[in-house]
Amino acid sequence: MLLFNLTVFLLMLDMYASERRKAKMLNFSIAYGKTPVGLARDWKVLVNESKETVKRWYNGREEVLRWQEARKKEARSIGCVYTLLGRARTFPSTKKRYSVT
C-alpha cells in the first residue's frame, strides 16, 4: 500500500511539473519586469495568451501593480530606484541625476 501511495504521489508530481515550472517562471518574470512579449517567446505561445495570463495574475495582486508603477514613476523622476537595503539601481534611459545616500 505504501509503495502504491508513493507511486501515485510521484506520478502526480510529474503530472503537474510543467505547470509549476510555468507558474514559477511567471512569478519571477513579473517581479523582474518581463513583458508579455518576452513571456510569449519563453513559453512559445501567442502574445495575446501571455497578455491574458499576466492580466489574470495582476487581478489578484493589484498592490504589486501599484508598487511597480510607483517604482517606474520614481525612476523617471529621479533616475533611479532604491532597494530595501538602500542601494541605488540606475536606469541609463533616464536623464536625471540622483544622489546615493
Instruction: Write out pLDDT tens, residues 2-21.
Output: 555 656 666 666 677 778 88
Question: pLDDT at position 14, please?
Answer: 67
Question: pLDDT at position 37, please?
Answer: 94
Could you say which residues of the chain have pLDDT below 70? 1-14, 94-101
DSSP 32: T
Question: pLDDT at position 20, please?
Answer: 82
Domains and CATH numbers, the chain: 2-90 (1.10.150.20)
Q: How far is CA 96 from CA 70, 75, 77, 80, 84, in A?
A: 17, 9, 7, 8, 21
DSSP 90: E
